[in-house]
């Protein structure tokens, strides 16, 4: 018996670069705009997304994400849902500071070793950050269901229409917290840092250009995301275990409807963890102004939605 499969593509975009990003300062809820270079770097993505008819558009309510959306998809800027749940983690008293400024503070060093257990002073606990992202995912999946249940002609309405939800910021209940976040067993030294979208966190070794190259990765890029454990184009199986190529469109090779999410690096990582089975927060790095595509598939056999990373945008 044939199994019904419904598919939707989520296009996750990280906002362009700000001055604090270039200066490697912790940037969470501080509301600063893109710098000139950050606006210019979005031009290729704007060309790539031109004319796309998105079934739903969701964006962090902070200026750097609003500005990014206005550049890459101006037709949707007025109809997008601006949701504060898509804000980056709040770094409290450490906002605007660099690793070099904080490295000798005892609490900061504890946080570097155990970010899930230690909270920045005046900042946001990791559990609260993960919980609000899970709440957004719960609302998003309701909208995805609405998109898949509408007739095809209703889905080709120019991209401004959303599902029956009155606003993702107020709809849906939180999903159970994702179990995919992994830090590893032992304490991490200060040299083992990972960027949580805007800032440095433990987990991988930083490079000299301000980006992060994940341990075990040789720089294989999947839609702007580096996956750990991949060794380059000759070893695609390492990537395709969790990601499918452009040929994996679906049963009838139909192009799935698309939904756009513009947010922050740490948020996109956590969304990927919630949506892609077996993916860890530390597996993914999204460069400013880059795009990650996740293909969601629902099957009657499993009765649920599962995501895969797709290596084409």
Question: pLDDT digit string (tens) for 102-132?
Answer: 999 999 999 999 999 999 999 999 999 999 9
Mean pLDDT of the chain: 75
pLDDT band at 280 (very low <50, low <70, confident <90, very high): confident
What gap in Å lies between CA 60 and CA 58, rounded to an integer? 7
DSSP three-state, residue 154: helix
pLDDT band at 281 (very low <50, low <70, confident <90, very high): confident
pLDDT in tens, 211-225: 333 333 333 332 333
What residues have CB less than 8 Å from 201, skipping those under 6 apart?
Answer: 112, 115, 193, 194, 195
173 has pLDDT over 70 = no
Q: What is the pLDDT of residue 209?
A: 33
Query: Which tokens in the block code for residue 108?
Result: 């900061």
Q: What mean pLDDT comes out for the span 281-306?
A: 88
Q: What is the pLDDT of residue 150?
A: 62
243 has pLDDT over 50 = no
24 has pLDDT over 70 = yes
Q: Are 14 and 263 in contact (CB under 8 A)?
A: yes
What gap in Å lies between CA 277 and CA 299, rounded to an integer? 15
């Amino acid at each position: 018996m044939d199994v019904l499969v419904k598919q939707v593509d989520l296009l996750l975009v990280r906002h362009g670069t700000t001055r604090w990003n270039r200066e490697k300062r912790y940037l969470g809820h501080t509301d600063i705009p893109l710098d000139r270079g950050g606006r210019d770097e979005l031009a290729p993505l704007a060309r790539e997304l031109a004319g796309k008819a998105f079934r739903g558009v969701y964006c962090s309510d902070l200026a750097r994400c609003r500005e990014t959306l206005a550049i890459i998809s101006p037709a949707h800027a007025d109809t997008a849902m601006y949701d504060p749940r898509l804000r980056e983690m709040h770094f409290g008293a450490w906002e605007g500071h660099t690793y070099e400024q904080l490295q000798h503070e005892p609490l900061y060093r504890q946080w570097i070793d155990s970010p899930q257990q230690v909270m920045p002073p005046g900042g946001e606990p990791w559990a609260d950050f993960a919980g609000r992202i899970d709440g957004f995912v719960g609302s998003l999946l309701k909208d995805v269901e609405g998109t898949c249940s509408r007739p095809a002609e209703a889905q080709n309405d120019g991209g401004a229409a959303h599902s029956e939800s009155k606003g993702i910021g107020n709809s849906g209940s939180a999903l159970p917290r994702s179990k995919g976040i992994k830090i590893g067993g032992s304490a991490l030294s200060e040299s083992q840092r990972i960027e949580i979208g805007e800032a440095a966190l433990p987990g991988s070794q930083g490079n000299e250009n301000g980006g992060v190259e994940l341990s075990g990765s040789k720089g294989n890029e999947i839609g702007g995301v580096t996956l750990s454990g991949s060794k380059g184009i000759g070893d695609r199986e390492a990537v395709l275990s969790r990601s499918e190529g452009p040929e994996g469109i679906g049963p009838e090779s139909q192009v799935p409807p698309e939904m756009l999410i513009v947010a922050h690096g740490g948020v996109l990582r956590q969304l990927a963890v919630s949506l892609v089975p077996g993916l860890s927060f530390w597996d993914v790095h999204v460069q400013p102004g880059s795009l990650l595509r996740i293909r969601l598939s629902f099957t009657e056999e499993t009765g649920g939605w599962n995501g895969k990373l797709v290596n084409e945008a």
